[in-house]
Amino acid sequence: MDMDEVIYRPIGIIHTGFRDKAEAPIQGVFAKAAKGEVVVFPEYADGLKDIEGFSHVILIYHFHLADSYSLVSMPFLEDKQHGIFSMRHYKRPNPIGLSVVRLESVRGNKLEISEVDIIDGTPLLDIKPFVSQFDHRDNAKSGWLSNPHLDMVRGESGRHRPE
């Protein structure tokens, strides 16, 4: 492998009602009603076997609207600059997105999902089962993303304001 480049191919597309960042919730967990549909390309559909047993899945996707990145910037609702690796902002060196979504139902190669914070038309790279025992850590310390900041996010009903 050429260690300089990693090449992936989308395995599907994520459809939601959010046309851009301004319409999308900041974090899906604060937007219980936000719904979407994952369409996995038919050639990968066999990989969905048994996924219906999981209440939540992790979607890994490409932030296709990111056309640049900054190593340091000011997140939404913040008045201080932070490093990109201590933020969830989409303008990252490798614009990879990660969302835990609720899996409502599975029909063939289509997954109905909710608690979605993803923009319509986003290319899907991978789906992993969400497993509390693997993915949760008790008493995690969240640095600048502390409770006052999170309360502000909730206070915006989890939505971005226009920039």
Binding site for its own copies (CB under 8 A): 1, 3-11, 27, 29, 40, 44, 46-58, 60, 62, 64, 71-72, 81-88, 92-94, 96, 98, 100, 102, 123, 125-137, 139-145, 150
Say if residue 147 is exposed, middle or buried (CB neighbours under 10 Å; 0-12, 13-18, 19+): exposed
Choose between 46 and 79: whose C-beta lies nearer to its own copies.
Answer: 46
Task: Give the nearest distance from C-beta 161 to its own copies in angstroms.
Answer: 19
* H/E stretch holding 41: none
User: In which residue are the tokens 């990109």 written?
Assistant: 84
Are the CB atoms for 69 and 95 separated by under 8 Å?
yes
Task: Give the nearest distance from C-beta 159 to its own copies in angstroms.
Answer: 15
Choose between 17 and 93: whose C-beta lies nearer to its own copies.
Answer: 93
Task: Give the nearest distance from C-beta 77 to its own copies in angstroms.
Answer: 14
β-pairing verdict for 122-129 and 12-16: antiparallel
Are the CB atoms for 37 and 112 separated by under 8 Å?
yes
Choose between 17 and 47: whose C-beta lies nearer to its own copies.
Answer: 47
